[in-house]
Amino acid sequence: MNTLPNPVDRLTAPIFRLAQYAATPALRFSLGLILLWIGALKFHDASPVVGLIHASPFAALASATFVHVLGALEILAALLLFGGVGLRYAGLLPLLLFASTLTIFLTTPAVTGVPYLTLAGQFLLKDLVLAAASLTVVAQDVARHATRQEATHVPLAAAAARA
């Protein structure tokens, strides 16, 4: 029985180790950059988003002020992601924002063209991947905290045995 990995595994092992090390920070940074950019654009010109909201079931919220609030929340989430602060919450915030965007995607087929996507529909569909990225940030942070708690948790029986 051969216990050495096959040649392809030996050659790719360093790449996979690098990917394992870099994946989480790369996801956080790229998601943060996208949120920062999208949020800042809402302050530059709110009218496309206002128009999209106006055509949706959420038409009552269609105002530049509301769009600016959304932009501020996206920028806040981006800064938290960049800083690595409160990651599970920093990931939940855009997840909620993307879920609302996907709701508009599904409820306004005249604008999005579902199932034959318009340019607006294509633009909104990208939020499906961004929502998955946000969910991954949340899951990774929850797992990291659970691992840390398990490592510092000493069962009572083990503590009693040492005494």
pLDDT digits (tens, 9 = 90+) for 40-56: 999 999 999 999 999 99
Quick count: other Cβ atoms within 10 Å of Cβ 161? 8
When pLDDT is averaged across residues 60-87 and rounded to a whole number, the result is: 97
pLDDT score recorded for residue 155: 62
pLDDT confidence bin for 5, thresholds 50/70/90: confident
pLDDT value, residue 37: 97
User: What are the residue boundaries of the structural domains of the chain, listed by start?
Assistant: 22-162
**pLDDT of 81 over the 90 cut:** yes
Helical ranges in the chain per DSSP H = 7-44, 47-54, 64-83, 87-107, 109-112, 119-152, 156-162
The pLDDT score that the predictor gives to residue 17 is 94
Task: Kindly calculate the radius of gyration of the chain based on its CA atoms and give it in whole angstroms.
Answer: 22
Mean pLDDT of the chain: 90
> What confidence tens digit (pLDDT) does each residue in 111-125 have?
999 889 999 999 899
Q: Is 22 exposed, middle or buried, given 0-12, 13-18 or 19+ CB atoms closer than 10 A? A: exposed
Between residues 134 and 160, which one has the greater pLDDT?
134
- DSSP 8-class letter at 76: H
Spatial CA neighbour of 120 closest among 106, 130, 100, 133:
106
d(CA 11, CA 22): 18
pLDDT for 58: 93
Residue 157: pLDDT above 70?
no
CA atoms within 13 A on the CB side of 65: 2
Instruction: Determine the Cα angle at 24 with ends 77 and 149, to 5°.
Output: 90
Give the pLDDT score at 161.
Answer: 59
Residue 14 confidence (pLDDT):
92
Q: What is the pLDDT of residue 133?
A: 96
What integer pLDDT is reported at residue 114 of this predicted model? 87
More confident residue, 7 or 65: 65
